[in-house]
Amino acid sequence: MMSKKLVLTLAFVLCMTILGGTAWADNIPIVNPSFESAGPLNTPCGTGCAYNYGPVPGIPGWSSVGGGSWMPGSFFTSIPDGSLIAFANAQSSLTQTLTGNSVLTNSLYTFSVFVGDRTDGINGNYILSLDTIVGGVTTTLCSVPGNAASIARGTFQLESCTYASGSSVPSGNLFLQLSAVSGQLDVDNVSLTVQPVTTSVPEPSSVLLLSIGMLLVFSTLLMRRKKDLQITA
């Protein structure tokens, strides 16, 4: 009975040690992150292809003047999530203010977007940025500049950037900005996660050494108990 209790106790301590050193990431809510909610796609562009343009009907949850929702048909061989994507033409952007979500102290943010390159290759340079916004003024936390020409034609590629906050953080709401510098920017499946920055995450070797140490302690106690039983007998 004693050995079973020791095993359970040691297993519990080991699990708590490992879990206590693990940083868990939380998803920050984004409205219509995969652009599957859309106004009427009232402009046809071929078989299985249609789009809308401008702020109305536009993309619910997002602001855009030079872009809209798009069912791309044969312009892409596959789509990361669902059947619709969003696009922004040169010198325009897709933006969203994450109202009620400000920068937390001592936290790591990861901002990710799938960027595509059409089969006809008209996509160009872009900048994806995670910002804060106060009174219409933005502060860039992290950004991803790129050119869709580096992506295989007809496919999407995941692009990401990270921002680590300290004890002092910029004010304002988090703000997402997907900008087409030249050509067209096609995007899908936007995500933003946050997790606490930890400085005491045990290395795998440390966890292994701890486990070995616990097993040695258990073995010693078990051998001592057997010896005591032999003496008593």
Give the containing element (helix H, strand E) for 9.
Answer: helix 2-20
Same structural domain for residues 120 and 228? no
Instruction: Return the pLDDT at 57.
Output: 80
Among residues 21, 48, 23, which one has the least CA distance to residue 162?
Answer: 23
Q: Which domain holds residue 106?
A: 26-196
| Mean confidence (pLDDT) of the chain | 85
Same structural domain for residues 143 and 88? yes
| CA–CA dist 165, 196 (Å, integer) | 9
Among residues 163, 165, 114, which one has the least CA distance to residue 143?
Answer: 163
Residue 44 sits in a domain whose CATH number is: 2.60.120.260
Instruction: Return the pLDDT at 191.
Output: 98
Same structural domain for residues 97 and 11? no
Structural domain count of the chain:
2
Same structural domain for residues 152 and 217? no
Same structural domain for residues 176 and 218? no
| pLDDT at 135 > cutoff 80 | yes
Instruction: Return the pLDDT at 198.
Output: 75
